[in-house]
Amino acid sequence: MMVDESEDAASSGEPDQARRAGRIQSVARALAILDEISANRSMRGQEIASSLGLNLTTAVHLLNTLTECGYLAKHGRTYSLSTEKVLSLYSQIEADVKPSPAVLSALHQVTEQTGESGYASCWTGDDVMIIAVAEGNHAIRVAALQIGRAGDIHARSSGKCLLAFAPHDHAERLLTSRTLTRRTANTIVDVDAMRAELAQIRERGYAIDRGEYLDGVWGIAVPMYLGERHPQCALTLTMPADRFAANETAYVEALLAAASV
């Protein structure tokens, strides 16, 4: 059993406030189409229009534009992401997010030792993204961890870990410039409460996700300094909640040992 840890302005009625903010509706719609097709592999124009609440004519114009620009491939009546474009984009960012041999070695060491699923994450701008994944071997384990997944750094042990050990000004800017979205009943959504949480993480040296991102799934993350003053990467184990209490001490020791490369 695996636990799966795995959205034209004048004619659209878009509020004036959104237009004043510089948001271009057609661009937002085109990006939404790419996300929708990515999630569903391939779709027909009518399916896309219905799913996104678009007029069919508008959807077709956007689909044709994306196809002409090379972002989509059309097969009969269905559209899919262009493999050539996806690989081209990936190759341009791969060097920035490709985990180092030291990170991969640490990840495999700790997952093999504990049997739990694990992942490595790193800062990418103002977000924390998964850059490597290793699945555990327990019958009940966390699966569907995805390389490239980012967001909700306040709700993940890896995100909280890197926030805690980031430069103070950087962490404060992130905490005060975005909404701490509630993912579960356990998610910390108050800025002062999050500041206190980060202080505790710095004191004990590791971060805990107490089902804050996904109900029933807990995580432990430690920083990987790799010669840096402030860590750019975090090493994380993630597990069903019922295995956390019995193994916290052993898992923390395994993570810290693996991360001290």
Q: 175-221: per-residue pLDDT in tens?
A: 999 999 999 999 999 999 999 999 999 999 999 999 999 999 999 99
Q: What does the pLDDT read at residue 155?
A: 96
User: Closest Cα to residue 53, out of 75, 34, 35, 32?
Assistant: 32
Distances (CA, A) of 242 to 81, 133, 185, 247: 40, 22, 17, 10
Whether residue 141 lies inside any domain: the answer is yes
User: Closest Cα to residue 232, out of 149, 179, 174, 167?
Assistant: 167
- Read off the pTM: 0.69
The answer on 196 and 85 residing in a single domain is: no
Whether residue 44 lies inside any domain: the answer is yes
pLDDT: is 118 or 96 the higher one? Answer: 118
Whether residue 108 lies inside any domain: the answer is yes
pLDDT tens per residue across span 78-90: 999 999 888 887 7
Whether residue 26 lies inside any domain: the answer is yes
Q: Which domain does 31 fall in, by range? A: 7-89
CATH of the domain at 236: 3.30.450.40
The answer on 133 and 73 residing in a single domain is: no
Q: Beta strands 233-240 and 78-81: pairing type?
A: unpaired
Residues 1/37, Cβ–Cβ less than 8 Å: no
Please determine, for residue 6, whether its predicted confidence score (pLDDT) is greater than 70: no
The answer on 76 and 24 residing in a single domain is: yes
Q: What does the pLDDT read at residue 7?
A: 36
Mean of pLDDT values over 41-69? 95
The torsion of the CA quartet 155, 231, 92, 125, rounded to 10 degrees, works out to: 50
The answer on 84 and 114 residing in a single domain is: no
In the listed set 89, 118, 153, which residue is the last one of a domain according to the structure? 89
> Residue 206 in 3-state DSSP?
coil
At 147, the pLDDT band (50, 70, 90 cuts) reads confident
Q: CA-to-CA distance for 106 and 259, rounded, in angstroms?
A: 6
The answer on 43 and 118 residing in a single domain is: no
Q: What does the pLDDT read at residue 137?
A: 84
In the listed set 32, 66, 89, which residue is the last one of a domain according to the structure? 89
Q: What does the pLDDT read at residue 9?
A: 39
The answer on 126 and 75 residing in a single domain is: no
The answer on 161 and 218 residing in a single domain is: yes
pLDDT tens per residue across span 23-46: 899 999 999 999 999 988 899 999
CATH of the domain at 18: 1.10.10.10
The answer on 245 and 124 residing in a single domain is: yes
The answer on 127 and 18 residing in a single domain is: no
Q: What does the pLDDT read at residue 128?
A: 95
The answer on 236 and 136 residing in a single domain is: yes
Number of domains in the chain: 2
Whether residue 1 lies inside any domain: the answer is no
In the listed set 69, 89, 109, which residue is the last one of a domain according to the structure? 89
The rounded mean pLDDT for the chain is: 89
The answer on 61 and 128 residing in a single domain is: no
Q: What does the pLDDT read at residue 21?
A: 58
Q: What is the DSSP-derived secondary structure letter of residue 150? A: B
The answer on 229 and 146 residing in a single domain is: yes
Percent of the chain with pLDDT over 90: 74
Whether residue 150 lies inside any domain: the answer is yes
